[in-house]
Structure 1
Amino acid sequence: MEANQRIARISAHLHPSNPQMEREHAILRRDGCRAKGGAPGFKVAILGAAGGIGQPLAMLMKMNPLVSVLHLYDVVNSPGVTADISHMDTGAVVRGFLGQQQLESALTGVDLVVIPAGVPRKPGMTRDDLFNINAGIVKTLCEGIAKCCPNAIVNLISNPVNSTVPIAAEVFKKAGTYDPKKLLGVTMLDVVRANTFVAEVLGLDPREVNVPVVGGHAGVTILPLLSQVKPPCSFTPEETEYLTKRIQDGGTEVVQAYAAVKFADACLRGLRGDAGIVECAFVASQVTELPFFASKVKLGRGGAEEVHQLGPLNEYERTGETGYFGVYH
Structure 2
Amino acid sequence: MNLSKFSVLRTITSPRFVPCRNSAYCPDTPKIPTIVTIIGGHTGEGQLTALLLKQSKLVDEIRLYSGLINPCGTAFDLSHIDTNAIIKSYLGQALLKEALTGAQVVLVCGGHATKPCKSQADLFEENADYVRNVAIYMGEFNPKGILCISTPNPKGNVSALIPMVSAELKKEPIYDPRKILGIMTMAVIRSNSIAGRYINRNPADVAVPVIGEKALQMLLHDKVCSAEDEAVDLKYIENTGSCFVSNAFACARFVTSVLKGLKGKRDVIECAFVRQLGHIESFLPYMGSVIKLGPNGIESTHMPRINDLECDYLQKAYPFLKRHIQMGEAYIVGDFRKECLIHPRLSGYCQFVTKKAVTQIGDFKLDLVAPNNQQEEKCVEIIT
Tell me, yes or no, whether TM beats 0.5: yes
The match for 1:65 is 57
Q: Is the 8 A contact 1:48 1:116 kept in 2?
A: yes
1:41 deviation in Å? 5.0
Q: Secondary structure of 1:213's partner?
A: coil
**Structure 1 residues 190-215: Cα deviation after superposition (integer angstroms, max 9, x where no partner):** 00000100000111111111000110
Q: Is the 8 A contact 2:209 2:271 kept in 1?
A: yes
Q: Secondary structure of 2:216's partner?
A: strand
Greater helix percent: which structure? 1
One-letter code aligned to 1:265: T
1:175 deviation in Å? 2.5
Q: Is the 8 A contact 2:274 2:286 kept in 1?
A: yes
The match for 2:42 is 50
The match for 2:258 is 267
One-letter code aligned to 1:276: D
**Structure 1 residues 176-233: Cα deviation after superposition (integer angstroms, max 9, x where no partner):** 221111111000000000010000011111111100011014xxxx31364xxxxxxx
Indicate whether 1:314 and 2:294 are aligned: no
Q: Is the 8 A contact 2:217 2:313 kept in 1?
A: no
Aligned partners of 2:38, 2:121: CA distance in 1, in Å? 25
Indicate whether 1:297 and 2:277 are aligned: no
Q: Secondary structure of 1:290's partner?
A: coil
Q: Is the 8 A contact 1:184 1:282 kept in 2?
A: yes
Aligned partners of 2:181, 2:203: CA distance in 1, in Å? 24
Q: Is the 8 A contact 2:290 2:301 kept in 1?
A: yes
Which stretch shows the higher mean deviation, 279-288 or 39-48?
A: 39-48
The match for 1:258 is 249
Which stretch shows the higher mean deviation, 286-295 or 84-93?
A: 286-295
The match for 2:122 is 129
**Structure 1 residues 267-306: Cα deviation after superposition (integer angstroms, max 9, x where no partner):** 0000010011111110001425111111101100011110
Judging changes above 3 Å, is the alpha-carbon distance between structure 1 residues 250 and 292 closer, same or farther for their aligned structure 2 residues? farther
**Structure 1 residues 53-98: Cα deviation after superposition (integer angstroms, max 9, x where no partner):** 1111111111111000111101213112111112211110111000
| Alignment equivalent of 1:115, drawn from 90, 108, 112 | 108
TM-score, reference length from structure 1? 0.79
Task: State the identity %.
Answer: 32
Instruction: Give structure 1 stretches of 5+ with no counterpart.
Output: 1-34, 227-239
Q: Secondary structure of 1:215's partner?
A: coil
The match for 1:182 is 179
Judging changes above 3 Å, is the alpha-carbon distance between structure 1 residues 127 and 187 closer, same or farther for their aligned structure 2 residues? same
Aligned residue pairs total: 274
Aligned partners of 1:246, 1:208: CA distance in 2, in Å? 23
Indicate whether 1:196 and 2:193 are aligned: yes
1:123 deviation in Å? 3.2
**Structure 1 residues 84-117: Cα deviation after superposition (integer angstroms, max 9, x where no partner):** 1122111101110001110001011111111104
Q: Is the 8 A contact 2:209 2:304 kept in 1?
A: no
1:308 deviation in Å? 0.7
Aligned partners of 2:47, 2:178: CA distance in 1, in Å? 27
Aligned partners of 1:260, 1:213: CA distance in 2, in Å? 16
Instruction: Give structure 2 stretches of 5+ with no counterpart.
Output: 1-26, 232-242, 325-384
Indicate whether 1:279 and 2:259 are aligned: no
Aligned partners of 2:166, 2:259: CA distance in 1, in Å? 21
Indicate whether 1:170 and 2:167 are aligned: yes
1:45 deviation in Å? 0.4
Aligned partners of 2:127, 2:172: CA distance in 1, in Å? 20
1:249 deviation in Å? 4.1
1:248 deviation in Å? 5.7
The match for 1:17 is none
CA RMSD of the aligned region, Å?
A: 1.9
The match for 1:245 is 225
One-letter code aligned to 1:153: I
TM-score, reference length from structure 2? 0.68
Q: Is the 8 A contact 1:40 1:66 kept in 2?
A: no
The match for 2:19 is none
Aligned partners of 1:151, 1:246: CA distance in 2, in Å? 37
